[in-house]
Amino acid sequence: MKNLGAKTVGAGFPNDHTHTGPYLADVMAASFVLGVRCGTSGLASLVVNSTASLTSGHLGDCIAHNSSLPVRDLETGTVLVED
């Protein structure tokens, strides 16, 4: 939202500050898909969008995982990624 600017974000909530309009709903959906695509989950391989198609606009590039927390397998608790 920061990359879009206050005017665009304000216009993206046409009726109230809870429900987005179509444009901002698409931005939020793309943000979610980018998070899955750039993440460490096995779901990333199921995303059909290329990372380049998602990061070429206002969303920005993938960022590294939060290095203050290890990434663990949800079922086993095994650490998958740590710094």
Q: Is the confidence at residue 65, as pLDDT, over 70?
A: no
pLDDT tens readout for residues 1-30: 888 889 988 999 998 888 999 999 998 888
**Which of 11-30 are b and which e, b meaning 16 or more Cβ less than 10 Å from the residue's Cβ?**
ebeeeeeeebeeebeebeeb
Encoded tokens for 11: 């216009």
Q: How many CB atoms lie within 10 A of CB 8?
A: 14
Is the pTM higher than 0.75?
A: no
Q: How many CB atoms lie within 10 A of CB 46?
A: 9
Domain residue spans of the chain: 6-81
